[in-house]
Amino acid sequence: MQKRRLGVAGPEVSLVGLGTNNFGGRIDLAASRLVVDMALDLGVTLIDTADIYGNKGGSEEYLGQILGARRKDVVLATKFGLPMDNAGRLRGASRRYVMQAAEASLRRLKTDWIDLYQLHRPDALTPIEETLRALDDLKQAGKIRFIGCSNLSAAQLEQALSISERAHLVSFICCQDEYSLLERDVEKGLLGALRKHHLSLLPYFPLASGLLTGKYKHGAPLPPGSRLANSPPRGGGVLNERNWRIVGKLSAFAAARGHTILALAMSWLASQPLVPSVIAGATKPEQVEQNIAAVNWALSTDELAEIDRITL
């Protein structure tokens, strides 16, 4: 498994990472264990979760039970900030909540430290400096190693990085944002900021919730139990005529070169200079194998240009 560095001074991570938002929701502990074991056996070193995954805590709890002695072999990433209760008290990025959320994640994960602790989304009610000072204290205490963010605008990222530099606080080393052959909006501003400050991008929904795997067919019923079948709002946003048209062209492009659209989607992301790892979810061990095998297509300059013509 190829490895790349996360940010400038962050840890090395596997080119394919494992996303665990299915754990505790779509799949149970036994099935999750099979997925994690396969990923680790094949060289995956980056495992990404969040406190909210798995019906508010289930994914972290599963990982805490599964990893055991192999915890030391992985870069374990989690997130905080989204609502963890129905009353709306356990959410946000205030100092009080950041400290509370970190302790809760450490407890569920059965670990003494979090390798990458990520702000899941901006908190309009809390100054970012307050959040960064809390994260800096957690780093000084040895409870987190590095920090990242998710769903920040380029302007919000610039502000946070400026504050970290001015106040000598821990600084974001990466952003986790939606990025795929069907969703390239980060290229309009955020990628420029990442490039300027030497940060990495961790794409989420790299396969557009499965639309780039080839398992969905235009005009056919959604496969039972699939992500888009289980999440009508998400499906309604992804399953549109524009995307079906692009998927058709990309499928033909890949097939003409002896590859699948899955291999194209994963290898295209792997070709992006700012992407150190493509985090892909899985509900079965064989999906982990497929995702890892899918990054082996070294796309040429001409092929990348043709992909741009299809998707932009």
- Say if CB 118 and CB 156 are below 8 A apart: no
Residue that has been written with the tokens 């991570």 in this structure: 13
Task: Locate all alpha helices (DSSP H) within 80-225, ordered by sequence.
Answer: 95-109, 128-140, 154-167, 190-197
Compute the half-sphere exposure of residue 49: CA atoms within 13 Å on the CB side of its CA. 31
Reported for 251-256, long-range contacts at CB under 8 A and 24+ positions apart, including other chains, are 251/214, 253/306, 253/307, 253/310
What distance in Å separates the CA atoms of residue 42 and residue 45, rounded to the nearest whole number? 9
Q: What is the largest CA-CA distance in the chain?
A: 55
Residues catalogued as catalytic: 53
Task: Locate all alpha helices (DSSP H) within the chain, ordered by sequence.
Answer: 29-41, 53-67, 95-109, 128-140, 154-167, 190-197, 227-230, 232-238, 241-256, 261-270, 285-293, 301-311
Residue 251 CB contacts under 8 Å (≥ 6 apart), including other chains: 214, 261
Local structure of residue 180 (DSSP, 8 states)? B
The token pair that represents 109 in the structure block: 């994960």
- DSSP codes, 134-159: HHHHHHHTTSEEEEEEES--HHHHHH
